[in-house]
Chains A and B, each alone.
Chain A
Amino acid sequence: MAPVDEKVNVNQSPGGGAVDSSQGKNGKAKAEHPSGDRRFKQLDITMKRHQYKPDALIEVLHKAQESFGYLEEDVLHYVARGLKLPLSKVYGVATFYHLFSLKPSGAHTCVVCLGTACYVKGSGDVLKALEEKLGIHAGETTADGQVSLTTARCIGACGIAPAVVFDGTVAGKIQPQDALARIQEWS
């Protein structure tokens, strides 16, 4: 998720993301997710493993993000109901942590490490090059849904700084042109 900027809450500010309230009401009536989506089953298993304890929220959200790719409202509703948690609490937790995403990410992800070691060795230039090339800012996904560009505080790969994670694989000593070449492969 993008570094917090003071304007970051613009899109997510209250009232911005209206939710169809009927979803909540429908959902409450039934134990199983009405869509029959099997991924909800997996969520059930995870919740059961944690005995539906509210404390397991973050674990369950991890699982949900893994299964669904991101935390859509429907899923958050489902988790809240399963763990008997207030919706606002679930939302508060889901938005507190950078790794949880409430928006779908692109087909490919590119995470530029901005840890100190990487920063000192020029990861800022790498990010700038990627932003220019993709025409998006960190934290955004290209219009065609192909690439999500994000930054990390430190991925602990300081020895090979600057590091970039392309689709989950860490690559070290990345110069701007290397990064551009890597994303070129995706198109």
Chain B
Amino acid sequence: MDWNELLEIAEHERSQQKPIRLHCCTSTGCRAANSIAVLNGLRDAVDEAKLGDRVEVVGVGCMGFCSRGPLVQIDPNDDLYEEVKPDEAASIVSTLTGGTTSAIKGDTQHPFFSRQMKVVRQHSGKLDPERIEEYIAVGGYQALHKVLYEMTPAQVVEEISRSGLRGRGGGGYPTGLKWATVAKMPGEQKYVICNGDEGDPGAFMDRSVMESDPHLVLEGMAIAGYAIGANHGYIYVRAEYPLAIERLQKAIQQAKKYGLLGSQIFDSPFDFKIDIRIGAGAFVCGEETALIQSIEGGRGNPRPRPPYPAQSGLWGCPTLINNVETYANIAAIINQGADWYASIGTEKSKGTKIFALTGKIRNNGLIEVPMGITLREIVEEMGGGVPDGDVKAVQTGGPSGGCIPASMLDTPVDYESLMAVGSMMGSGGMVVMDQTTNMVEVAQFYMEFCRGETCGKCIPCRTGTVQLYSMLTKILNGKATKADLDAMEALCYMVKDTSLCGLGMSAPNPVLSTLKYFPEEYRERLQEAIAPTPPVEPTEQHGTATAPELLAQ
């Protein structure tokens, strides 16, 4: 494979594509709503109507508006149909020839769509993720070619650094800096790992990227491999994402077939292979050192850092670990330049971010927005607000994050601002809660999660989460006192400060943030608030006797 062949494939693919494409989502969400039947229905209808020469039906990746699936979109006129039933397929096809349909037509001018800015999801929902040719047709793998032939590894690292891209897995560590660190480490053998263990409940951005545009991830990893001097990459995907695994596997095979992965990519000296490792149901494996343990075939127990994986990672070798979304940004940065990328977002948080907008909100789904947009814009404009009632809080960052009260909806969405209000970006889960949501229960829910997902290696996390959970339960049962509440808060800080890895360090966040913003919800459940029974009789305490010092206490 060389540059010309790549262009030829792209050209050939484009020439083969029909002028009208009916895109039907085949990602997990829509599949669950029976989109495969819709897809088949559309194909049959096209055949029936004998439109096969100018119309094709394509099973595509995620369009984002998951709550309204199955979604069907007509390209190029951009008509969108929502909640399509298989028996509506024929009438939708008939609209191409002037017919009418009873299918619900979506409003593509709605802020949910119009406010988005798509970098990573640029092609999601527009191409068939199971065909590499479609990816190549939209310019895929050109960035890889570009780095191999026009840039030195150092230049690539520099470009990424200049773009201002930060880790999309939650921590927000500058990606370029991480790459530079691994690139500088001595050693023949280095590894690239893609963290696809998206474990935060309420987050499915990475699943969508892997399902909808798997090559984007592979290309980003290959570029990273070139930049840091690694020839072997692993994608660690959680087993709960079978479709993502299947599509990544297909994508790797196809890329290998075209010489876009494997030995001497684009006939250059650069070799890069990618293997998939499948998780087995352990949230903690999203933590990078635990993930490495898991790839090595062990229990997902994190280990103390330093040394960081960049210094000593997989099998003790320098290892670059980034999240799916991070890698999915790489090709765009290489193609369009660091300056272009850095022009998006805020001063410290560049580019776009995908969020999974869920919970008590009218428009559920995936959105990609420029950094710096406010929570209010996302929740009220794009999300359309809470169906009946008002927003109470928005939870970001999953079990590691916090609950941001409605009064702070004007907070801009960027790493620093979210941190400042006691939450975090996390991987991009954004769960909206309305006035009916009990915030203590929410804290308890997350603590239940953490107590179940702690690996058990270090004591604060292993038992601290169990104790916190029972303290929350005690509060919810109206059995707790103010002293219990204080003890709980003290334990939160202890678990936060002494746990070995990020899971424990962030496990108390949902409690602390709800305590901070919704203290009355805790206080009104305390025993004193329910029935005032002071444990000590305030009067008649003093005995007849003994030293004043003691009794004065």
Whether the complex brings A and B within 8 Å at their CB atoms is answered yes
- Contact indicator A156/B281 (Cβ below 8 Å): no
- Contact indicator B437/A120 (Cβ below 8 Å): yes
**Closest B-chain residue to A61, C-beta based?**
B280
Chain A residues whose CB sits within 8 angstroms of the CB of B278 once the complex forms:
58-59, 62
Chain A residues whose CB sits within 8 angstroms of the CB of B198 once the complex forms:
156
A102 within 8 A of B: no
- Contact indicator A158/B364 (Cβ below 8 Å): yes
- Contact indicator B395/A116 (Cβ below 8 Å): yes
A169 within 8 A of B: yes
With contact pairs A62-B239, A159-B364 given, residues A153 and B69 touching in the complex (Cβ less than 8 Å): no
B47 within 8 A of A: no
Partner of B202, one of A98, A99, A117: A117
Chain A residues whose CB sits within 8 angstroms of the CB of B277 once the complex forms:
58-59
With contact pairs A3-B452, A93-B297, A116-B358 given, residues A163 and B280 touching in the complex (Cβ less than 8 Å): no
With contact pairs A153-B199, A172-B32 given, residues A96 and B451 touching in the complex (Cβ less than 8 Å): no
In the complex, what distance in Å separates the CA atom of A119 from the CA atom of B437? 11
The interface size of chain A toward B, counting residues with CB under 8 Å, comes to: 45
With contact pairs A93-B297, A96-B282 given, residues A156 and B28 touching in the complex (Cβ less than 8 Å): yes
Interface membership of chain B positions 436-451, coded 1 if the CB is closer than 8 angstroms to chain A and 0 otherwise: 0100000001101101
Chain B residues whose CB sits within 8 angstroms of the CB of A156 once the complex forms:
28, 198, 203-204, 207, 240-241
B101 within 8 A of A: no
**Closest A-chain residue to B208, C-beta based?**
A156
In the complex, what distance in Å separates the CA atom of A97 from the CA atom of B282? 6
- Contact indicator A119/B283 (Cβ below 8 Å): no
- Contact indicator B66/A159 (Cβ below 8 Å): yes
Chain A residues whose CB sits within 8 angstroms of the CB of B178 once the complex forms:
none
- Contact indicator B201/A170 (Cβ below 8 Å): no
A130 within 8 A of B: no
In the complex, what distance in Å separates the CA atom of A25 from the CA atom of B198? 41
Interface membership of chain B positions 345-367, coded 1 if the CB is closer than 8 angstroms to chain A and 0 otherwise: 00000000000101110001110
With contact pairs A120-B437, A154-B240 given, residues A163 and B32 touching in the complex (Cβ less than 8 Å): yes
- Contact indicator B360/A158 (Cβ below 8 Å): no
B433 within 8 A of A: yes
Partner of A97, one of B281, B366, B429: B281
- Contact indicator B358/A170 (Cβ below 8 Å): no
Name the distance in Å between A84's Cβ and chain B's nearest Cβ.
12
B29 within 8 A of A: yes
In the complex, what distance in Å separates the CA atom of A160 from the CA atom of B466? 31
- Contact indicator B28/A121 (Cβ below 8 Å): no
With contact pairs A156-B241, A157-B29, A160-B33 given, residues A119 and B69 touching in the complex (Cβ less than 8 Å): no
A179 within 8 A of B: no
Chain A residues whose CB sits within 8 angstroms of the CB of B239 once the complex forms:
62, 99
Partner of A158, one of B65, B204, B298, B466: B204
Question: Which residues of A, 113-163, contact B by the 8 Å Cβ criterion?
Answer: 114-121, 152-161, 163
- Contact indicator B280/A159 (Cβ below 8 Å): no
A55 within 8 A of B: yes
Name the distance in Å between B352's Cβ and chain A's nearest Cβ.
19
Partner of A157, one of B32, B281, B295, B359: B32
**Closest B-chain residue to A2, C-beta based?**
B452
Chain B residues whose CB sits within 8 angstroms of the CB of A119 once the complex forms:
201, 445
In the complex, what distance in Å separates the CA atom of A56 from the CA atom of B300? 14
Interface membership of chain A positions 102-118, coded 1 if the CB is closer than 8 angstroms to chain B and 0 otherwise: 00000000000011111
In the complex, what distance in Å separates the CA atom of A132 from the CA atom of B188? 58
A78 within 8 A of B: no
Chain A residues whose CB sits within 8 angstroms of the CB of B300 once the complex forms:
96-97
A185 within 8 A of B: no
With contact pairs A153-B201, A159-B364 given, residues A171 and B299 touching in the complex (Cβ less than 8 Å): no
In the complex, what distance in Å separates the CA atom of A96 from the CA atom of B454? 10
Chain A residues whose CB sits within 8 angstroms of the CB of B283 once the complex forms:
153
A20 within 8 A of B: no
Chain B residues whose CB sits within 8 angstroms of the CB of A76 once the complex forms:
none
- Contact indicator A153/B297 (Cβ below 8 Å): no
Chain B residues whose CB sits within 8 angstroms of the CB of A153 once the complex forms:
199, 201, 281, 283, 449, 452-453
Question: Which residues of B, 253-304, contact A by the 8 Å Cβ criterion?
Answer: 277-283, 294-300
**Closest A-chain residue to B64, C-beta based?**
A159
B61 within 8 A of A: no
Partner of B299, one of A93, A116, A120, A152: A93
**Closest A-chain residue to B282, C-beta based?**
A97
Partner of B296, one of A55, A118, A159, A172: A55
Name the distance in Å between B281's Cβ and chain A's nearest Cβ.
3
Partner of B204, one of A3, A61, A157: A157
**Closest B-chain residue to A170, C-beta based?**
B32
A6 within 8 A of B: yes
B398 within 8 A of A: yes
- Contact indicator B202/A158 (Cβ below 8 Å): yes
In the complex, what distance in Å separates the CA atom of A73 from the CA atom of B66? 42
Partner of A115, one of B201, B241, B453: B201
Enumerate chain A interface residues (CB-CB to B < 8 A): 1, 3-6, 53-59, 61-62, 89, 92-93, 96-100, 114-121, 152-161, 163, 169-172
Instruction: Name 27 interchain pairs, CB-CB below 8 A, sorted by A.
Output: A3-B452, A4-B452, A56-B297, A58-B280, A59-B297, A89-B298, A93-B297, A96-B282, A96-B455, A97-B281, A98-B281, A99-B280, A116-B201, A116-B429, A116-B446, A117-B358, A119-B201, A119-B445, A121-B359, A153-B201, A155-B240, A156-B241, A157-B204, A158-B203, A160-B29, A160-B66, A172-B33
Given contacts A153-B201, A153-B452, 18 further A-B contacts (CB under 8 A): A4-B453, A58-B277, A58-B280, A58-B297, A97-B280, A99-B279, A116-B398, A117-B359, A119-B445, A120-B431, A121-B360, A153-B283, A153-B449, A154-B240, A156-B28, A156-B204, A157-B32, A172-B33
Enumerate chain B interface residues (CB-CB to A < 8 A): 28-29, 31-33, 65-67, 69, 198-204, 207, 239-241, 277-283, 294-300, 356, 358-360, 364-366, 395, 398, 429, 431, 433, 437, 445-446, 448-449, 451-453, 455, 466
- List of 5 A-B pairs having minimum Cβ-Cβ separation, nearest first: A159-B66, A98-B281, A115-B201, A97-B280, A116-B202
